[in-house]
Amino acid sequence: MSRMVQSPDPYMKVYFHALVDTPGVVAANNFMSVFNPVGSNRVVIVLQLYVNCYSTNAATSPNSLTAYRTSATSGGTLIAASTVNRFITAETDPVCVVRTANPAATTVGLVLVGVPPVISTGSGSGASATSPSPGASFVMIPGEGIVVGTAAGDTDQTWNISLVWGERP
């Protein structure tokens, strides 16, 4: 007897954006934001945030990459909705707005998660982290988002960041 695996929520559309081999910067930097715009009439659920860091040279900045809730984002590089990755390629464009390359963000509340950077005298790799907790969901209603960045950094630190989210009418 065979069983068909079915999504727990057949109405959810799943999207993701990834930054790979992205160098750190010395100043404060927001690597990526995902924002559910006001008036979208969608509930957005963060399904996974994956981060890791490595270096090919000495890296000394102790600043973790952090994630915060946001109430507004602007600037940076706007990723065209038509190019955002999706689990089903025929799915419609996401309503969430994805920005990279240091978007401005109005943060709300305390840090959600912190991922330590690699600190080394030569090449090395740091910790990796996945959030949220299994079985839990981080919800963004219209007018809310998430931003990941560092308060300061090192150009020898290199980050991989991937954010997966679901949108539900």
Q: Which residues contact 128 (CB under 8 A, 6 or more apart)?
A: 50, 51, 52, 53, 115
The answer to the question of residue 6 being in a domain is: no
Quote the domain boundaries for residue 127.
14-168
What pLDDT is attached to residue 4? 40
Q: Give the tokens for residue 11.
A: 């109405």
Residues 122-151 have pLDDT tens digits of: 776 776 666 665 556 789 999 999 999 999
CA 41-46-51 angle, 5° bins:
145
The answer to the question of residue 162 being in a domain is: yes
The answer to the question of residue 97 being in a domain is: yes
Structure pTM? Answer: 0.88
The answer to the question of residue 74 being in a domain is: yes
